[in-house]
Amino acid sequence: MIRRSWRKWRSGNIGRLVGDSLRSQGWLYGVAMGAMIIVAVTTAGTAWMMESIINTMTDPDMRSQVYVVALVVIGLFGVKASASYVQTVFLARAGNRIIAVQQEKVYKKLLKRGVAFFAQTESSNLLMRVTKGAQSARRLVDVIVTTFVRDALTLVGLVFVMIYQQPLLSVMFFVVGPVALYTVRYLLKAVRAIMQSELKSLSEIIKVMQETSNGIKVIKVFALEDRMADRMNSAITTVEKRSNSIAKLQAVASPMMEFLAGLAVAGVLVVSTMGIAGSEPTSAGQLMSFITALLMAYEPAKRLSRTRVAIEAAMIPVELMFELLDQDDPMREISEPKELTSGPGEIRLKDVTFGYQGAMPVIQDMNLTFEAGKTTALVGQSGGGKSTLFGLIMRFYDPDTGCVEIDGQDLTEVSFASLRRKISYVGQDTFLFSTTVMENLRYARPDATDDEVKEAARAAHAHDFISDLPQGYDTEVGENGAFLSGGQKQRLAIARAILRKAEILLLDEATSALDAQSEAYVKEALDRLTQNVTTIVIAHRLSTVLEADRIMVVQDGRVIEQGNLDELLENNGSFRALFDQQFKTPSA
């Protein structure tokens, strides 16, 4: 039962892929298929013409037709060559478009996935699904289209010529096909298992490369070069072995068909020589036409015999791609979402409880209000739920119970676009795109002018160091800002937030990567930025939040204390303990 369901799912995916491809690239495939039909007809016509060619050369009565026959042959080969060119070009265009369409679909699907999905899924796995899956989809459609149009029609045409010219001898050819197909059946399971192992090894190669790129400093410091080289060599060797195994299995069909074709040709020669091919005398032209058709049928028959193996090899990456495409989006907008209206920016959590994927709640029965236009600081030990609050406010996750509101509107009822326009965020792990400084800043507001971008950079005390870069604002920053220091990247992130001009500002250890002087500059910029803006600050260094309008101490998913600095110090509670721990003076 399970096996039947699996086959049904696979065949459904094949039909879905081919159907979608033919619908989206119908005219390209239509032209290619038309050319394939012409190739099939002219191929069969070439074998048919062998009778006239031989008879013209051997029968004196037909010598007068030699020029006509020659012109027909030239025409056949000219038409076949032209059709082959058209078929190749249009099939390639359609195939390249399939790769592009599938990669676009997978990437759009990834963008709809929640933050938790990327935290739990290795990027190497995603890269495999986007690249290998799309390429295999193209290969699968090409195999199916060429097999069932060009090769099948060519074989049908050649078999027709064979039967017409020598019916009895053709029976020997029909013995070859079933034997070959029966043998190929045993290759399929092995190909499938090897492909699954090969994909895992390819994913490991990508993973090692990413870890090497991102962790090169750690690799150098701890002298891990040999260990990383061993990991890479092991993965590469595994892929090499799997690829060789697949090549062996795919190659089995060719020599097998060659041997069987040889047997068939030898049998034809013996039978025709013995004179039992039929009661009617056989002309040299008929026999040559039959043998030509038989030999020409070898290639399409060989490709047909290998079709199942090729489909099995391509299906594994395609199934992984469809597996991703068919997953439900965890974060969805309602059918008719509302726009989050412009307002003062008050944030309210009502009876919110949240845990990651059914685990123990990180936030428990929380009721909070972040006042509009005020700065609220979240402090406390790591793991208390502070960053999770940011995720709920930005709607990376939805609460298990309760709701989050901005200006009285439930976030589950508003569009993602309108919500994100209202929020600006600066985290401690600054991310920059691999493009110019100007483009990185303009991502915050694409319609911003160059002057507005530079004004934001000045406000974040980033303009001076940007101007000193080789091409100024047009300087490429490298992968994730590899050509900049940590402090420079952080100031660019803050400039990006300033340029955003959002009504809500979320700061997660935004000054953690700055030296004392840079922190002083940025603090001055943030003081201007946070005026009349609803600001929530996560900080472990209390020195950065002492001037906040309200401070909340978060512990084990609950707010255990809140108030301004003076009120919390007077309470002699958890905040006072944190304050004394960070600011106590050493005894004399």
**Cα 588 to Cα 290: distance, rounded to the nearest angstrom:** 109
Q: Point out the least confidently predicted range of 183-192, 290-299, 495-504, 521-530.
A: 183-192
Shared-domain flag, residues 174 and 240: yes
Considering the domain architecture, whether residues 276 and 374 belong to the same structural domain is answered as no
Residue 406 maps to a domain? yes
* Last residue within a domain, chosen from 294, 325, 356: 325
- pLDDT, residue 183, reads 56
Q: What are phi and psi of 417, to 5 degrees?
A: -60, -45
Are 293 and 440 contained in the same domain? no
Domain of 493: which CATH number? Answer: 3.40.50.300
Q: Which two tokens stand for residue 386?
A: 């502070």
> What pLDDT does residue 200 have?
62
Which residue segment(s) compose the domain that 72 sits in? 14-325
Q: What is the pLDDT of residue 440?
A: 87
478, 425: one domain: yes
* Nearest to 432, CA basis, from 424, 440, 422, 444: 440
Kindly state the average pLDDT of the residues 60-89: 83
pLDDT surpassing 80 at residue 392:
yes
Q: For residue 514, is pLDDT > 70?
A: no
Q: Looking at the structure, do residues 316 and 233 belong to the same domain, yes or no?
A: yes
* pLDDT level of residue 569 (50, 70, 90 thresholds): confident
Tell me which DSSP letter residue 587 carries.
Answer: P
How many domains are there within the chain?
A: 2
Q: Are 390 and 478 found together in one domain?
A: yes
Task: Give the model's pLDDT for residue 21.
Answer: 76
Give domain status of residue 556, yes or no: yes
d(CA 347, CA 581): 31
Assess whether 315 and 353 both reside in one domain: no
CATH code assigned at 158 = 1.20.1560.10
Does any domain span residue 339? no
* Alpha-helical regions (H) of 400-551: 416-421, 437-442, 450-459, 463-467, 486-500, 516-529
pLDDT at 258: 63
**Within a domain: 424:** yes
- What kind and span of H or E run contains 11? helix 2-24
User: For residue 125, what is the enclosing H or E element?
Assistant: helix 123-145
What pLDDT is attached to residue 178?
Answer: 59
Return the structure tokens found at 506.
């979320």
Domain match, 315 and 443 both: no
Which of 292, 325, 358 delimits the end of a domain?
325
User: Which amino acid would we find at residue 83?
Assistant: A
Q: What confidence score (pLDDT) does residue 267 get?
A: 62
Using a CB cutoff of 8 Å and minimum separation of 24, what contacts does 472-479 make? 472/437, 473/436, 473/437, 473/438, 473/441, 474/436, 474/437, 474/438, 475/436, 475/437, 476/434, 476/435, 476/436, 477/432, 477/433, 477/434, 477/435, 477/436, 477/437, 477/440, 478/434, 479/213, 479/434
With 70 as the cut, is the pLDDT of residue 413 above it? yes
- Do residues 550 and 557 make contact, with C-beta atoms less than 8 angstroms apart? no
In a domain, 9, yes or no: no
Instruction: Determine, yes or no, domain membership for 1.
Output: no
Rounded to an integer, what distance in angstroms lies between the CA atom of residue 547 and that of residue 565? 8
Q: Quick one: tokens of 388?
A: 């999770």
The verdict on 266 and 163 lying in the same domain is yes
Backbone angles phi, psi at 558, to 5 degrees: -135, 155
Lowest mean pLDDT segment, chosen from 13-17, 29-33, 66-70, 152-156: 13-17
List of residues 6+ apart from 296 with CB closer than 8 A = 43, 46, 47, 158
Tell me how many helices (H) and strands (E) the chain has. 21, 10
Backbone φ and ψ for 446, nearest 5 degrees, come out as -60, -25
Q: Is residue 233 part of a domain?
A: yes
Handedness of CA 511, 514, 516, 520 (dihedral sign): negative
Lowest mean pLDDT among 158-162, 196-200, 292-296, 462-466: 196-200
**Exposure class string for 331-358: b at 16+ Cβ within 10 A, else e:** bebeeebeebeeeebbbbbeebebbeee
Q: Is residue 1 scored above 50 in pLDDT?
A: no
**Which pTM value belongs to this model?**
0.65
pLDDT in tens, 228-280: 788 878 877 777 777 777 666 666 655 665 666 666 666 666 665 555 444 44
**Residue 554 and residue 451 share a domain:** yes
Q: Is residue 337 part of a domain?
A: no
Q: What is the mean pLDDT of the chain?
A: 77
How far apart CA 320 and CA 17 sit, in angstroms, is: 13
* Same domain, yes or no: 152 and 263: yes
Residue 575 has pLDDT above 50, yes or no: yes
pLDDT tens digits, 24-57: 777 888 888 888 889 888 888 888 887 777 777 7
Question: Residues 281, 406: one domain?
Answer: no
